[in-house]
A and B are shown apart, each in its own frame.
Chain A
Amino acid sequence: MTFLNASLLAGTVLVAVPILLHLLLRRRPRRVEFPAVQFVQERQVPQQRRLRIRHWLLLALRVGVIALLSLGLARPSVIFSGDWALEEEPVAAALIFDTSLRMEYRHENQTRLERAKELGLWLLAELPQQSEVAVLSSRAAPAAFEVDRASARERIRRLEPSADSQPLPAAISRALDLLEQSEKRLREIYIFTDLARAAWPRETLPTLRSQLEKTLGLSVYLVDVGVPEPKDFALGTLELPRQILSSRGTLVVQTHVESIGLAGACTVQLEMEEQDPATGRRRWQKREEKVCQLQPGQAEQVVFRLRGLGTGIHQGQVRIVGGDALPGSDVRYFTIAVKPPWHLLLAAPTAPHLVPSFVTEALAPREFRLTGQARYECRLIPQEELAQSDLAGYAALMLLDPKPLEDALWQKLAGYVADGHGLAICLGRNAQPIDSFLTPAAQSLLPGPLQMQARRPDFDTFLAPADRQHPILAEFRRLSGTVPWDAFPVLCYWQLGQLAKGVNVVVSYSDGRPALLERPVGKGRVLTLTTPLTDDTNHEPWNLLPVGDAWPYLILVNEMAAYLVGAAERQLNYTVGQMVVLQLEGAGGRRSYVVTAPDGMTFTAQTEGAAGPLVLSPPPLPGNYRVQASGSPDGGFSLNLPPEQTRLDRLGPEELNDLLGLRNVRLARSRQEINRHVSLGRVGQELFPLLIALVACLWAAELLVANRFYKDEPKERKGTR
């Protein structure tokens, strides 16, 4: 509690006056002669007790009146946050605006950001003179106090929604750092937010809470500009099983449409960006459309499939037809690269237990081959012919249960891989004698020395991918927890010694030993599987991977091939805020590229080296970007908003309590509420009216009691004559 006129508290000593009067100069009741006192005495005792109580009550009332009066005149206030100040004392204020695309939500013909700006400008005018003002957005930009109010006003006016917004706690943290530098005693943070959960990640709240609690003299005002019950159709994250496609493959684009507070039909279109042959300009061409019937809170998956794309970079978008309140959630962009079918060379020794067709059929099933849909052109040769084969035309080579190779062949393969190709070595029972695989030439490609064949006849060992972050396991990632690896036991595998430097275990067995290992060699990579993919189940197989409903086997083989040819890990689709890394083909040592942004703006970017990737710092605008250089095919990439940026669901009462539970944090929705809370924050809750009301009540009570005590005395004393 604080006092505006603390000196007037000295007036409380006046409470001694009624006490002294009561004790020393107590008003004597008038004495009257009365012979019939005997009748009074009989009833006197209880009445005397009442009288005494009344005396003390009267004294208490008088003391209370004086004490409350002096307390009231001292203008006490209850301060809820930090230090006390006059209402017009200059402050250091940080105005934080949520500028995420979610703030484009339009309600009553005004976006949330426009509403926030309107309130912000008004608030700026209301701040005390000589205040220091900083305007921050939710973009990661350094915070600084504005030179004057005009510049602060201008900065507020220029605020625009941006896709690279950060959660608000980050901006608050920057504001706190800035306010710490101010010499002003009072510090205030105004946060203009729609209170969307996405802007206030739950994990950041404890840290934020402790920061706010620690800062002295700080008042935080959450200005809620959100809509309590938003209505919107929103697209979820776009999922592309493959970003690099074979020209024979099918483009699969899937997402989900979610309804927030709306019921009805929602039309979703897949549109591809094409060049108008007549004008040369790029335009959107609708390729497919889906209609979803949604109820509030309901979500529906939408899958588009597209075939017949020519080779090259293709860019498209999935969008909700017809506008709604939040345009940012209505469109998602994508880029894919379509390539001719990859040529794979598969080499396997001739042996009765060995069925190479398991692999060839997994990579290019007969049906696909016949219909021209196979992604890979597979050529199977005996291992003996490998030495004479020209490997240059193949994107990758797979050695299926190889026999010992000559050092010269190992060296040839090493050169092939170093040039940027892929090699898969699927070790099996033919890898004997071991010594032949321990030569330096072999070890330059193998992940480590072969030690022994580990037999696991109890059917209790199987592939057990632990970390699914590797590109080969991307498909399994989507199927998390549902792959029945234990149905495909591994009965025998090669146990390796000390692994070479740079070797990465992609998949392990359930006993923890490595199963699939990756080793980068030059520009290429070598995948080694310590158990074969081609064992005939009728000849004491080393594993049962290809047996039965072997869909995990198919996926594994295809993903290995895709990784080897470089189709698995190339990323063309990013979310806003991510660093863009593009491995451009046919660069031919070119280092400068022109990047065209979705809004038509262009800028140049350089590769890191002659053959290095093109690295772009996170572009802010979602959409499709094209990367061009003369004499080379176009490249491109897409940027999408993180889905949480357009999620409108608001903080629940519990989370809000986490924030508002702090004594120096207040929530306001209108100018009146802001005014009231700011006044409370600076001056505190004035108790003057309450105290004066109490004084009036006590005074009235005192008069009542006193009047009953001391009736007007008769002018003439009466008694015995």
Chain B
Amino acid sequence: MSLVAKYLQPEVVRQIRRLDLRAQCIVKGFFQGLHRSPFHGFSVEFSEHRKYTPGDDPKDIDWIVYAKTEKYYVKKFEAETNITGYLTLDLSRSMGYTYRQEVTKWEYAVSLAAALCYLMIQQQDPVGLFAFDEKVRTSLRPKSKRTQLGDVLSILARAQPTGRTDVAASLTQIAGMLRHASLVMLFSDLLGQPEPILQALYRLRHRGHDVIVFHILDEAEVRFPFDGLVELEEPETGQWVEVDASDFRHAYLEQMEKFRDTLRRECARAKIDYVPLDTSMPFDRALSEYLINRSQRS
């Protein structure tokens, strides 16, 4: 089975092909330009003036303003082009976890990323890739060629979620690597302290990137299906705790809900899309629902 067939099954394609991924705020022309001029590159649409500083391209000087004010101002233009999407996947070991032994979080994330990659390529939008654990391990320049999907999946198929993770540091690193405002699609379980992660997301957002957080958890992490006395071992650090799961379920679910609520609330405040998912949810349906919802909001 080819990688595309493995991660992007025909029924999934069928499900999402009629949908699109709309930018919310950064790239206004994303949607409009989706079909009109997908290959125009930079737009010439005026955005704002700023004072000329040495080093600026002299051809950008607005001479009309000079004539009126005798000061040099440079015209800024917003790119009116297709959004560049970056699929940003968490490669940490915890992403390889599955309780039911069916789909790991990683596999779930890859499938989801593949679908989105396909969707964007279909829309002529370039798609790039970052995979990180404690730092960015793999990256792929964004392209909108049809071969890009195969390249992306090829890289993801080779990658194995094995290391420890540092989502915040990785996102900060990625933010530094992005030149233009892009659509950053983060696929992670976000296990760790929420504050640094949120800070990193804010930073991305502050730089003008559109951010979608696909918070992928295992079914067991959401439902805590254990009973009796169990020793829970953290796969990345090897730490374990002994608990009476029956007694603990309620407390755990409370904690988990609190965590997701925090993320949901903070992301909403920063106008970041937060999509909570777990591996028991059919991702194509979850994705469809999200995209429809996003479309309605925009």
Contacts and interface: CB of A to CB of B under 8 A. Distances in A.
Interface of A: 28-44, 47-48, 50-51, 54, 708-713, 716, 718-721
Interface of B: 93-94, 96-101, 104, 189, 191-192, 217-218, 220-221, 226-236, 239-248, 251-252, 255-256, 259
A35 B152 CA distance: 27
19 contacts: A30-B230, A32-B226, A33-B97, A35-B93, A36-B191, A37-B232, A38-B234, A40-B252, A44-B243, A50-B247, A51-B242, A709-B244, A711-B229, A713-B228, A716-B101, A718-B220, A720-B98, A721-B96, A721-B104
Given A38-B191, A51-B242, A721-B96, A33 B235 contact: yes
B246 A708 contact: yes
A50 B251 CA distance: 14
Given A35-B221, A718-B101, A48 B242 contact: yes
Given A35-B236, A720-B97, A721-B104, A711 B227 contact: yes
Given A35-B218, A35-B235, A35-B236, 20 more contacts: A29-B231, A31-B240, A32-B230, A32-B232, A34-B97, A34-B232, A35-B189, A35-B221, A35-B234, A36-B217, A37-B239, A37-B241, A39-B256, A40-B241, A44-B241, A47-B248, A48-B241, A711-B245, A718-B99, A719-B235
Given A36-B221, A40-B252, A30 B231 contact: yes
Contacts of A28: 231
Contacts of B247: 47, 50
Contacts of B220: 34, 718
Main secondary structure of the interface of B (DSSP, over half): mixed
Given A43-B251, A50-B244, A719-B235, A35 B191 contact: yes
A693 B228 CA distance: 29
A172 B123 CA distance: 119
A709 B243 CA distance: 10
B256 A36 contact: yes
Contacts of A712: 228
Contacts of A29: 228-231, 242
Nearest to B259: A39
Listed residue (A29, A34, A42) with the most chain B CB atoms within 10 angstroms of its CB: A34
4 cross-chain pairs, A with B, having the tightest CB-CB distances, nearest first: A711-B228, A35-B94, A29-B229, A39-B255
A4 B203 CA distance: 83
A357 B99 CA distance: 137
A37 B252 contact: no
Contacts of B233: 31-34, 37, 719
A33 to B, nearest CB: 5
Determine which residue in A35, A38, A50, A718 has the highest number of CB atoms from chain B within 10 A of its CB, and name it.
Answer: A35
B97 A35 contact: yes
Nearest to B232: A34
Contacts of A30: 228-231
Contacts of A708: 228, 244, 246
A50 B229 CA distance: 12
Nearest to B218: A35
A449 B234 CA distance: 128
A38 B258 CA distance: 13
A711 B234 CA distance: 22
A37 B246 contact: no
Given A32-B233, A35-B94, A47 B243 contact: yes
Q: Which of A29, A40, A713 gathers most chain B CB within 10 Å?
A: A40
Contacts of B239: 37, 41
A554 to B, nearest CB: 104
A50 B244 CA distance: 9
B251 A710 contact: no
A145 to B, nearest CB: 70
A42 B248 CA distance: 11
Contacts of B93: 35, 720
Contacts of A721: 96-98, 101, 104
Interface centre among A31, A32, A42 (most CB of B within 10 A): A32
A719 B236 CA distance: 12
B165 to A, nearest CB: 10
A690 B200 CA distance: 69
A39 B235 contact: no
A50 B96 CA distance: 33
A44 B239 CA distance: 13
A676 B32 CA distance: 103
A702 to B, nearest CB: 15
A711 B228 CA distance: 5
A34 B234 contact: yes
Contacts of A711: 227-229, 245-246
Contacts of B230: 29-32
B249 to A, nearest CB: 11
Contacts of A50: 244, 247
B75 to A, nearest CB: 50
A708 B98 CA distance: 26
A709 B245 CA distance: 9
A53 to B, nearest CB: 11
A94 to B, nearest CB: 66
Nearest to A709: B229
Given A29-B242, A50-B244, A710 B104 contact: no
Given A31-B231, A32-B226, A42-B255, A47 B97 contact: no
A714 to B, nearest CB: 9
A342 B69 CA distance: 176
A12 B265 CA distance: 62
Nearest to B103: A721
A28 B259 CA distance: 30
Contacts of B259: 39
A27 to B, nearest CB: 8
Contacts of B98: 718, 720-721
A35 to B, nearest CB: 4
A338 to B, nearest CB: 106
Nearest to B240: A31
A28 to B, nearest CB: 7
A36 B237 CA distance: 11
Specify which of A39, A44, A709, A716 lies most central, judged by the most chain B CB atoms within 10 Å of its CB: A39
A720 B100 CA distance: 10
Residue from the set A28, A37, A709, A711 with the largest chain B CB neighbour count within 10 Å: A37
B238 to A, nearest CB: 10
Contact of A51 (B94, B243, B255): B243
